[in-house]
Structure 1
Amino acid sequence: MKRSLRITLSICLSAMLSLPALAFQPQADRVLVVKGERRIYLYQGEELLRSYKIALGKNPLGHKQRRGDNRTPEGRYTLDRRIVDSKFYRAIHISYPNEQDAQRAAAKGVHPGGNIMIHGVPNRYSDGKDFFVRHDWTEGCIAVTNEDMFEIWQLVAENTPIEIRP
């Protein structure tokens, strides 16, 4: 076997052997966010698979009312698509606004906003990771560390329900 092929195989084997145990974990079938606790929980049935510290929108109290209010929505949604070319380390889109959100905003004559996601640290930052979960800083998204986002990405499939509570 050629040396370069052996090296490549060796690197691939090392990477596979160093996969975290989560690679063999069951996938989450629902996600719960409790804003007041600053936590996101991944469940399969009633079994808690993982829990992570989160940061929220800069104005975290209350349900998102309109674009630009910097609030994280509250309610039942779906994690409907993955975004690999995000300006953050990976992102999973949340299906906000739902029909009720859109109707509530229309009644007030405002845009409900959108583009709400679970995501990692902005790509332009390599240091200060802890800052991004110690302070609410997003425009309404749910932020986690890149390491936590890697795990969430592995454990949560598209079309998984998510509930966001106060």
Structure 2
Amino acid sequence: MQYFRLIFLVFIVAAVSGCANKFKTYNGPEVTQLYVLKSERKLVLMHHDTVLEQYEIDLGFAPDGDKKIEGDGRTPEGDYFIDRRNPNSDFHLSIGISYPNEYDIAEAKALGQPPGGDIFIHGRGPIYRKAGADWTWGCIAVTDREMERIYAMVQDGTPITILP
């Protein structure tokens, strides 16, 4: 009888710890392209011409227009790629976007300002869990649970197009 209790206890501990793991697995079709539709507040994950997932998003606190300079609160627009991952993000999990590109750097330089950087798709984390709409400094935010799925599905190097 003690043996069965031990097995049951091990099973319960494994089940509970599995629920707490923020690192999910994904075995479906490859995500070949990401689209951010700023005006619709949508992030779309594609496999070629097929929509795999769609998520409602929050943007920078100044959501209209293209990011021009550091600190403007805007989310950039253009073609980029996923270039890094942060499993220890203050925003639960995050994947980096390759902003700024050469065009962004030249545009900011013409304005005499730095272009900024550190643009991510990320969760909310414990601090911003109850934040309102469009609260980031230019990043793209989803819920923590959605970010776990996105983090598992999207690989470094995946192209992302951010549209107005």
- Common topology (TM > 0.5): yes
Aligned residue pairs, count: 156
- Following superposition, the deviation at residue 123 of structure 1 comes to 2.9
Contact 2:81–2:97, Cα closer than 8 Å, also in 1: yes
Contact 2:80–2:161, Cα closer than 8 Å, also in 1: yes
- Following superposition, the deviation at residue 12 of structure 1 comes to 4.4
Cα distance change on mapping 1:79 and 1:13 into 2, 3 Å: same
Q: RMSD across aligned C-alpha pairs, in angstroms?
A: 2.2
Q: Which moved more, 1:101-110 or 1:6-15?
A: 6-15
Q: Distance in 1 between matches of 2:7 and 2:69?
A: 55
Is residue 2:65 matched to residue 1:30?
A: no
Is residue 2:124 matched to residue 1:121?
A: yes
One-letter identity of the residue aligned with 1:108 = L
One-letter identity of the residue aligned with 2:47 = Q
Q: Distance in 1 between matches of 2:27 and 2:13?
A: 20
Contact 2:125–2:144, Cα closer than 8 Å, also in 1: no
Q: Distance in 1 between matches of 2:87 and 2:9?
A: 28
One-letter identity of the residue aligned with 1:98 = N
Secondary structure (helix, strand or coil) at the match of 1:24 reads: coil
Q: Which runs of 5+ in 1 are unaligned?
A: 17-21
Q: Distance in 2 between matches of 1:3 and 1:112?
A: 60
Identity %: 41
**Structure 2 residue aligned with 1:148:** 146
2:156 is matched with which residue: 136, 155, 158? 158
- Following superposition, the deviation at residue 13 of structure 1 comes to 7.0
One-letter identity of the residue aligned with 1:82 = R
Runs of 4+ that moved beyond 2 A: 1-16, 122-126
Q: Which runs of 5+ in 2 are unaligned?
A: 20-24
Q: Distance in 2 between matches of 1:54 and 1:136?
A: 8
